[in-house]
Structure 1
Amino acid sequence: MIQATEAISISISPEQIIAAVKQMKQAQREAFIEDLLAAVSPAYLESIREAREDYQTGRVSSHAEVFE
């Protein structure tokens, strides 16, 4: 992951961003949201690391076990 060392100033309104995201296909939109969360949320990245570790060590439950 590349870390920015400088801020970039872009003149774009929230409405323009929303319109652009709405035009994306579902898979693109989901990837964009995931990338955005990863970029702004260290807690989100940590939760992914924890989930991967849980999966690798077998600390998982089936759908049926969770929703019994």
Structure 2
Amino acid sequence: METKVKDLTVEELRSLISDAVRAAMDDYIEDILALSSDDYLKSVEEARSDYKEGRVKYFEEIFDV
């Protein structure tokens, strides 16, 4: 049976919304902290360069899938 919004109590809906907003805010804060780190930005630049130059390993190679 499919649950519908009308089947939720107000408190359940409030909790779902609150959890979703909290998770989104945590993600934004994490992004802001990461993007303000020179080391993080340098690692992203290096990773992009490695990818362009073909210095990568694929999931299948690492895990023998």
TM score, norm. by length of structure 1: 0.49
Aligned residue runs from structure 1 range 1-68, under 5 A? 23-25=22-24, 29-39=26-36, 41-68=37-64
The percent identity for this pair of structures is: 34
Local SS of the residue matching 2:57: coil
- Greater gyration radius: 2
Deviations 1:15-63 (A, max 9, x none): xxxxxxx7133xx533431221121x21111000000001111111111
Structure holding more helix per residue = 2
RMSD of aligned alpha carbons: 2.1
TM score, norm. by length of structure 2: 0.51
Task: Output the CA distance in 2 between the equivalents of 1:56 and 1:30.
Answer: 28
Matched to 1:33, the amino acid is: E
Task: Output the CA distance in 1 between the equivalents of 2:28 and 2:62.
Answer: 26
Which 5+ residue runs of structure 2 have no aligned equivalent?
A: 1-20
Which 5+ residue runs of structure 1 have no aligned equivalent?
A: 1-21
Query: How many equivalent residue pairs?
Result: 44
